[in-house]
Structure formats: C-alpha cells, structure tokens
Amino acid sequence: MTRPTDKPLFSGLTATFVQDGNTVGTTTEMEVLEVSLVTQLPGMQPFVVLKSETGWSFDDASELQKLIEQCKLAVGDNLEEDEHV
C-alpha cells in the first residue's frame, strides 16, 4: 500500500454501457462500451480506460465525458480531493 489509512482505498471500477448501433452501419447492432477507472496502486489517482469491441458512436465529446462522470459518481468520496479523472 502507498500509505496508511483508516478507510478503504479505491483501486478500480468498471462500468459497461450499451446503446443501439448507429444508423450508418459502421458498428454492430448493439454497441457496448466499458469505461474503467483504474489505479496502479490502491489510493493513487485513477486514469480512464475505454474499451469496445463493437464500436461506440456519439455526436459530441460531452456525451463521453458524461459516462466518465457517472463512473466518478459511483466511486463517490473514495477519490482524493486533488484527483482529476
């Protein structure tokens, strides 16, 4: 561990999102996206990992940012104040 603490340290979280494929047909019928918040060691600042084998379509980058924000909300106050995921 990186430092002693009296609470559990965040180590990682993966959320899976699904949506219908785009109308152009450049993705599969159902698009699946995994958004992970991962740390190298428990208690360290997490980084974002995106994974999709089907493709993922969005009209604006803010849509992707909203998915990341949902993951951060799921982690709650387990993230340090200075973390900037």
Give CA separation, 81 vs 43, 45, 56, 57, in Å. 12, 10, 31, 32
* pLDDT by position in tens, the chain (length 85): 555 667 788 889 999 999 999 989 899 999 999 999 999 888 788 899 999 999 999 999 999 999 999 998 988 766 665 444 5
For residues 80 and 68, give the distance between their C-alpha atoms in angstroms, rounded to a whole number: 16
For residues 65 and 28, give the distance between their C-alpha atoms in angstroms, rounded to a whole number: 22
For residues 28 and 31, give the distance between their C-alpha atoms in angstroms, rounded to a whole number: 6
Domain segments of the chain as ranges: 12-78
Q: Which residues contact 81 (CB under 8 A, 6 or more apart)?
A: none
Global pTM? 0.78
Beginning with the edge strand found earlier in the chain, give each strand of the sheet holding 30-38 in spatial order: 12-20, 30-38, 47-51
